[in-house]
A = this chain, B = another copy of it.
Amino acid sequence: VNDQDLKRRAELIRALPDGVVRAAVPEDTEDQRGRRGLPPLLVTAPRNTEEVAAVVRACEQAGVPVIPRGGGTGLVLGQIAIDGPPPVLISLERMTAIRAVHTGDNVLIAEAGAILADVQQAAKDVNRLFPLSLAAEGSCRIGGNLATNAGGLNVLRYGTARDLCLGLEAVLPDGEIWHGLRRLRKDNTGYDLRNLLIGSEGTLAIITAAALRLFPRPAHTGTALFVVPSPDAAMDFLNLARDMVGDFISAFELIDATGQHLLAETMPDLRLPFPEIPDWCILVELGTPELLPTEPLFESLFKRALDAGLTDNGIIAQNGAQASQLWRMRESIPEANRLTGGIAFHDISLPVSLVSEFLTSSETALRKIADVRIGVFGHLGDGNLHYNVFPAIGRRSADYGDIGGMISRSVHDSVHRFGGSFSAEHGVGRMKAAELKLYADPTRLKALTAIKNALDPSGIMNPGAVLHDNRTGIHDSCKEQG
């Protein structure tokens, strides 16, 4: 921090509401993978929306960049400055209230700093479900979930964060407050500002509160694991299940042989469900209302899938403990991946019908670059795969030198060729801004830039994230983890 920054800092502090500044801590500029950003000019933690607006106005007038901060669990460097002038962090950590629960409307109003797990609990307290569910739910904040349009485990049935939000309150880059906490299912009165801000990763506004949709809690939840011969068979299985049990499929996860082998190699205490590791499995969860227990549904489904040649083996959990065991296998895969040490990790989506063809094509392309091991798992029902590249058996990640960037480019090129996305649920942040520039439709990119310039003419909101073409230096050294 140089003299000029110190002067700016002092000026800013004078312009801010009393008590809004707090001391910086190392966690403010680190992400979960230990990547560290530039030290901030100031850290602020406003207590209410008016204070957020006051901080933004002061920064706008001073020409100081602003980085909004939720739980800091983002994976693509959206919450950390990596170059440019030191920013003011606006942490939503003090705005954690559940402002209202409208049970009759199936709507809950939460401030942006509310921890996702607390939102889930507030819904549960009134016998409702808030279905957004992801690994970081104990520490991520709902404002960040909305800013990044978080996905997770229940997207197939309930949609992403976007689909769970009816209204927003937000501070725009000029420091004005949009009071948009409507709780209406239908409202056709002008452009969809809500969905524009959702997923904009703090570059167009700071979300301060949200009206969130609640759902009936399933009376029964059932889990099963089926062996399938191929990803195509997995898709046929999903379509069969949709015809048979409608919208009750809340999760449909694909697990490949590599994932299970890595579990066996790195976590030998974890009991794998099948004595011989199958090439492909699907983990299916059903949530049903009281009139419809899950077990007979699973039994009918298995029988029909067996007859259709889509499976030849399966486990239907008979109780909660068995269900947890099946889920533990799925949920331990990222940890096994970390323990193994990967060359490159990817969060991609594809048209579901092309997943199988993509897998063959991408593997062929990768084999030309290096002798690697490919691990695939993820939310197949959404076409969202975590596609990870590991060293061949007996080799280590370090043996491969600096080929991570080349590997990722190859994977993303294949994804692009199949009409897929290089970021299904993690967002763009600063880590993938170069990919956005490379792969986005040019007309769309021009429109997004025009929108950014129109809403944030001073360019103070989270600069460098999403739309910025000069932040590629960090790319190769920052691997994604799925």
Using a CB–CB distance below 8 Å, which chain A residues touch chain B? 102-107, 148-149, 151, 155-156, 160, 162-163, 172, 176-180, 182-193, 195-196, 198-200, 204, 216, 218-219, 235, 239, 242-248, 288-292, 297, 300, 349-353, 379, 381-384, 419-428, 432, 435-436, 439-448, 450-455, 466-467
B residues within 8 A CB of A379? 186
Q: Name the distance in Å between A229's Cβ and chain B's nearest Cβ.
A: 16
Q: Would A178 and B290 be within 8 Å (CB), given that A102-B351, A188-B421 are in contact?
A: no
A104 touches B155 (CB 8 A): no
Contact of A176 among B102, B424, B443 (CB under 8 A): B443
B residues within 8 A CB of A182? 419, 421
* Extra 5 A-B pairs, beta carbons < 8 Å, given A188-B421, A291-B300: A107-B351, A186-B382, A188-B425, A189-B423, A191-B466
B residues within 8 A CB of A151? 186, 188
Q: How many copies does the complex hold?
A: 2
Which of A176, A297, A351, A427 has the largest number of chain B CB atoms within 10 A? A351
Contact of A188 among B195, B423, B467 (CB under 8 A): B423
Sampled A-B contacts (6; CB under 8 Å): A105-B351, A184-B420, A192-B199, A193-B448, A244-B290, A453-B454
Can you name the residue of chain B whose Cβ is closest to the Cβ of A467? B190
Q: How far is the CA of A242 from the CA of B448 in the complex (A)?
A: 39
B192 touches A198 (CB 8 A): yes
Q: Name the distance in Å between A257's Cβ and chain B's nearest Cβ.
A: 23
Q: Name the distance in Å between A482's Cβ and chain B's nearest Cβ.
A: 13
Q: Name the distance in Å between A163's Cβ and chain B's nearest Cβ.
A: 7
B198 touches A383 (CB 8 A): no
Q: How far is the CA of A243 from the CA of B287 in the complex (A)?
A: 12
Q: Would A466 and B190 be within 8 Å (CB), given that A184-B420, A453-B454 are in contact?
A: yes
Contact of A349 among B184, B199, B453 (CB under 8 A): B184
A428 touches B189 (CB 8 A): yes
A186 touches B419 (CB 8 A): no
Can you name the residue of chain B whose Cβ is closest to the Cβ of A203? B191
B residues within 8 A CB of A435? 189
Q: Would A196 and B188 be within 8 Å (CB), given that A247-B246, A454-B454 are in contact?
A: no
Q: How far is the CA of A218 from the CA of B247 in the complex (A)?
A: 11
B residues within 8 A CB of A177? 443
B residues within 8 A CB of A288? 246
Can you name the residue of chain B whose Cβ is closest to the Cβ of A160? B186
Contact of A441 among B148, B180, B186 (CB under 8 A): B180
Q: Name the distance in Å between A330's Cβ and chain B's nearest Cβ.
A: 18
B residues within 8 A CB of A162? 192
A186 touches B216 (CB 8 A): no
Q: How far is the CA of A104 from the CA of B466 in the complex (A)?
A: 32
Can you name the residue of chain B whose Cβ is closest to the Cβ of A300? B291
Can you name the residue of chain B whose Cβ is closest to the Cβ of A422? B189
Can you name the residue of chain B whose Cβ is closest to the Cβ of A192? B195
Q: Name the distance in Å between A429's Cβ and chain B's nearest Cβ.
A: 10
Which of A188, A420, A421 has the largest number of chain B CB atoms within 10 A? A188
Q: How far is the CA of A353 from the CA of B291 in the complex (A)?
A: 26
Q: Name the distance in Å between A102's Cβ and chain B's nearest Cβ.
A: 6
